[in-house]
Structure 1
Amino acid sequence: MNQHIFFDNLTATIGALATGKKKFFSQSLKSQGFSALINNTEIHLSGKFQEGTYELEAETPVGILDPAFKVVKWHGNNFPTIIYHHGNNERPFDFRKSAKNTFFQIFVNSPEEIKANLIVVRAPFHNSSIKAYQEKMTDLQNFATMIATSVKLNEAIISELSSKGCDKILTSGISLGGWVTNLHRSYFNTSTVYIPLMAGTFLGELFIRSKYKKLTSENALKNAEALKNVLNFDEAFKKVNSPNVFPLLGRYDQFIEYQVQKESYTGHPVKVIKNGHITGALNTKALRNHILDVLQKN
């Protein structure tokens, strides 16, 4: 077993022990699909895009949620804009070097200046404790609505940027943020390009067949088809013909399995790094280089 596989397996085992009985979808498997959740979620933005944090309210099928975004760097409307979505249980506004924050490591801690406006999105349920987050994730509709809300916020930001004359917008994200990236392309496709990092379109497979299934409840595993019906969105993604998606996958990823998720991207160029999920997230140089390469070429 190589080190990349080892760390993914270890993380899944520790995660399963930490969640205990509060595993994913242990309380409820009832949920609307992504299309309905996106259509029934409302977020309103207005005002200038100045550097700072914007706390918002989203009206959703599960109540009022708390997404937010932070404009970290604003050069002007004539610069390209990168909208980045964080991974599961990250704290994207925490800029301490010790924080679990891929946005900070990729963009803020970059050895070179990135000549683009930088915006990072915080998903609902990521402004509280891990324990509170785990409690919410026992309900499938909470999980699906969390993703749908980030998708709708991404669209609201893009709409505002476009109205101000920004004509080059890149949507990217890692893991959880990668699913948001791909789902936004599936239902809106208003970003110039999409750069999903270690994600695909077969989200249900993450919970029922990858090593991550250790964190999935027994009831959900016994009702795998119901879970896939809510979470997989490969058909919607494939209906979008635009050559504007530039994914990155880890060859040894035990969560976002390469052999499974690469099928999401038939006909699109896939960058493959020799990492697992954990070591891939730590390989910020490779992630940064991929994003900047796409920025330069598009």
Structure 2
Amino acid sequence: MFSVLNHSVIRQLDKLVLYTMNQRVPESLQTTYQDTPAFETVLAQTAVDLSQTPDYALSAPGEHTIQLNTMLGPITCHVRVRPARDPHAPLLIYHHGFSEMPYYGSWQRLFPKNHPYPVHSVCIQAPYHDHWRAPFEQSMASVLHIYQTFAGSLRLMELMQNHFEANGAPYTMLAGVSWGGITSLLYEGLFQRTAAVIPMLSSPDLAQVLLDIAEMFGRPIDISRRELKQLLDFSPYFDRFDNDKVYPLLGERDLFFRYENHQHHFANCQLNTISQGHISGFFHIAPLRQHLTQTLQHLIPSNKQVEDARFPVISQPVA
């Protein structure tokens, strides 16, 4: 369906969803930012509650509940695990988009059971994503809550990487769509422990997304552009690591992460594009799967431990 939509309709789909999102962003986001601690301070005070998390069971297939202790109180999150047959297969950690319900929806479509990739596949649930109202009412309540959402996801990713690599995975790769792409880039910028990052329909600059949405709908912003960039442009973390390990995909008609405002971040990367918007690209999943498949085919065969792995056959998508 989305493959045959004309360009005007593709953009209107994005605009319709953005209008709804713009209406749901709490005013408190603009009025509570002055005393926000640094992101790395929030991360330092975010920890997995190991007393309630059976680490030994984390590689078992299915969903696992993870408890976090944070400066905003305890938070319950989940991860979904689909282990590879080979215990020595690499690990791929996937992160969903903002307000995606259920959190594993796009993961199931990108990693279908009947066409498994030769990887241990893990899907991370961000904090405040257990109810359809929670992402806006809680994650967007303040800059601190945005930081906490990212920090919680990073601790879950760290937990899963530590577990799988301790049990035979030779290395870890990250992939994420939209908000999940930002999260993946943040993780590598902070820890620099992964072999590759695959951000799709995303960039490290959340501030630019919010500025573009405000401009589109004429919404006044009480935070100056400079302050917003200082708070929510995570490009400095992206600049900490080798961009050669980043395999990004952008939508040429995306009104969330506008190509013209975000492509410069990937000037030193192997940037791929699709003729889609954010919503059409998200739901017409074949081009994203093809990008993921081609990237993994490029990365994995160089590792002898998985040289006999087979990849799913992806038909050529219609742009």
TM bucket normalised to smaller: 0.7 to 0.9
Identify the residue that residue 75 of structure 2 maps to in structure 1.
65
Q: Secondary structure at the match of 1:186?
A: helix
State the alpha-carbon separation in 1 of the partners of residues 237 and 20 from structure 2. 34
TM-score (norm 1): 0.87
Q: Which amino acid in 2 is paired with 1:14?
A: T
CA deviation profile, 1:131-160 (whole Å, cap 9, x unmatched): x33221222211121012111211221111
State the alpha-carbon separation in 1 of the partners of residues 67 and 193 from structure 2. 22
Give the conservation status (yes or no) of the 8 Å contact 2:91–2:161. Answer: no
Q: 1:38 aligns with which of 15, 39, 43?
A: 43
* Unmatched segments (≥5 aa) in structure 1: 95-100
Give the conservation status (yes or no) of the 8 Å contact 2:247–2:271. Answer: yes
Identify the residue that residue 12 of structure 1 maps to in structure 2.
18
Q: 1:184 aligns with which of 187, 206, 209?
A: 187
Q: Which amino acid in 2 is paired with 1:33?
A: A
Q: How does 1:83-102 map to 2 (within 5 A)?
A: 83-92=93-102, 101-102=105-106
Does residue 234 of structure 1 match 2:235?
A: yes
Identify the residue that residue 260 of structure 1 maps to in structure 2.
261
Q: Which amino acid in 1 is paired with 2:37?
A: Q
Q: Percent identity?
A: 21
Bigger shift: residues 61-70 or 269-278 = 61-70
Bigger shift: residues 225-234 or 27-36 = 27-36
Distance 1:115 1:205, change over 3 A: same
Q: 2:213 aligns with which of 211, 214, 231?
A: 211
CA deviation profile, 1:203-252 (whole Å, cap 9, x unmatched): 111111x236668974x444332222111121221121252110111111
Q: Secondary structure at the match of 1:170?
A: strand
Q: 2:173 aligns with which of 143, 167, 170?
A: 170
Structure with the larger RCO, 1 or 2 (CA within 8 Å, 6+ apart): 1
Q: Give 1:168 deviation, angstroms.
A: 3.3
Q: Root-mean-square deviation (CA), in Å? A: 2.3
Q: Give 1:93 deviation, angstroms.
A: 5.4
Give the conservation status (yes or no) of the 8 Å contact 1:204–1:231. Answer: yes
Give aligned pairs, total. 286
State the alpha-carbon separation in 1 of the partners of residues 185 and 103 from structure 2. 23
Q: Which amino acid in 2 is paired with 1:107?
A: F
Give the conservation status (yes or no) of the 8 Å contact 1:200–1:264. Answer: yes
| Bigger Rg, structure 1 or 2 | 2
TM-score (norm 2): 0.82
Give the conservation status (yes or no) of the 8 Å contact 2:171–2:195. Answer: yes
Q: Give 1:113 deviation, angstroms.
A: 3.3
Identify the residue that residue 8 of structure 2 maps to in structure 1.
2
Q: Secondary structure at the match of 1:195?
A: strand
Distance 1:39 1:222, change over 3 A: closer
State the alpha-carbon separation in 1 of the partners of residues 158 and 79 from structure 2. 12
State the alpha-carbon separation in 2 of the partners of residues 27 and 262 from structure 1. 31
State the alpha-carbon separation in 2 of the partners of residues 227 and 78 from structure 1. 43
Q: 1:155 aligns with which of 154, 158, 163?
A: 158
State the alpha-carbon separation in 1 of the partners of residues 191 and 123 from structure 2. 19
CA deviation profile, 1:12-52 (whole Å, cap 9, x unmatched): 123334x2x73571552242232222222112462131102
Q: How does 1:183-202 map to 2 (within 5 A)?
A: 183-202=186-205
Distance 1:252 1:242, change over 3 A: closer
Give the conservation status (yes or no) of the 8 Å contact 1:254–1:277. Answer: yes
Identify the residue that residue 288 of structure 1 maps to in structure 2.
289
Q: Which amino acid in 1 is paired with 2:63?
A: T
Distance 1:112 1:197, change over 3 A: same
Q: Which amino acid in 2 is paired with 1:88?
A: F
Q: Secondary structure at the match of 1:191?
A: coil
Identify the residue that residue 98 of structure 1 maps to in structure 2.
none
State the alpha-carbon separation in 2 of the partners of residues 281 and 164 from structure 1. 33
Q: Give 1:74 deviation, angstroms.
A: 3.8
Q: Give 1:118 deviation, angstroms.
A: 1.6
* Unmatched segments (≥5 aa) in structure 2: 1-6, 300-319
